[in-house]
Amino acid sequence: MSKIGNFLRTTFLGGFIILLPVVLTLYLIRWLVALITTTIEPVTMVLTEQVHLGHILALSTAFIAVVAACFLLGLVVKTRLGRGLLRQIEQKILKVAPGYSFFKETVSQLLGQKNRPFSRVVLIKMFGSDLLSTGFVTNEHSSSGLFTVFVPSGLNPTSGLLLHTAKENLIFIDVPVEVAMRSIIGCGSGVSALLDHLPQNK
């Protein structure tokens, strides 16, 4: 009986793990579509009532107009005058708005327009012993020769230790940041991907 219960439980969990990311992805897409539709609704109403277009055609026209506006705005900010004007607007108006700086940083990170805060994966020698912790280099200080390293905590990688140390206390690991981060979130699961790349002359 226990074997049947274990089989049912593991089978259900396996299906749940596969299905949950799909559902969340579809929910996110639905939310984005609803957000865009609501945002361009005033333009759609004008096209429907004044130009007498059908709702689907009006919605498509409004969406194309928004895409075209984004493209034109991108062209403008590529010019020196456009960049200067945008800088002035940001400093005097937009940065005062609550959340603008946070959302700008987040979008820039997601779209890959800014360098990631973690440049390299390292194993840091803790307290001058053979104890090693996984960390990420966030800055290198040429004046002092020190490295700033963030050591995340398991399960919640947004918290951890911020350490400033010399290069000789670091072992640089040639693996992507994402691989190391997954091993931290998994509380050590998959950490062999780091240790397999451990230099032999450490």
Q: Are the CB atoms for 199 and 174 separated by under 8 Å?
A: no
At residue 51, the pLDDT reads 73
- Which of 38-42, 52-56, 135-139, 153-157 holds the top average pLDDT? 135-139
Q: Rounded to 5 degrees, what angle do the CA atoms 103, 61, 26 make?
A: 50
Cα–Cα distance measured from residue 117 to residue 158, given in angstroms and rounded to the nearest whole number: 12
Confidence of residue 147 (pLDDT cuts 50, 70, 90): very high
Q: Cβ–Cβ contacts within 10 Å for residue 91, how many?
A: 10
Q: Which of 23-37, 89-103, 119-133, 173-187 has the lowest mean pLDDT?
A: 89-103
Tokens linked to 80: 């020196």
At residue 148, the pLDDT reads 92
Mean pLDDT along residues 169-178: 87
Q: Are the CB atoms for 137 and 120 separated by under 8 Å?
A: yes
Q: Percent of the chain beyond pLDDT 70?
A: 85
Cα–Cα distance measured from residue 143 to residue 192, given in angstroms and rounded to the nearest whole number: 35
Query: Taking each helix axis from N to C terminus, what angle separates 2-39 and 41-49, rounded to the nearest 10 degrees?
Result: 60
Tokens linked to 154: 């398991």
Strand duo 132-140 + 146-152: pairing: antiparallel
pTM of full prediction above 0.85: no
In which residue are the tokens 């979008």 written?
Answer: 107
Q: Which of 157, 144, 160, 196 is nearest to 175 (CA)?
A: 196
Q: Which of 99, 77, 75 is nearest to 88 (CA)?
A: 77
Q: Which of 16-25, 65-74, 167-176 has the lowest mean pLDDT?
A: 16-25
Higher pLDDT, residue 69 or 51: 69
At residue 117, the pLDDT reads 64
Residue ranges covered by each domain of the chain: 120-195
At residue 198, the pLDDT reads 75
Mean pLDDT along residues 33-51: 80
Fold of 120-195: SH3 type barrels. (2.30.30)
The 10s digit of each residue's pLDDT in 183-192 is 887 777 778 8
Higher pLDDT, residue 118 or 72: 72
Show the DSSP H helices in 40-164 as ranges.
41-49, 55-77, 80-92, 100-110
Q: Kindly tell me if the per-residue pLDDT of 76 is higher than 70.
A: yes
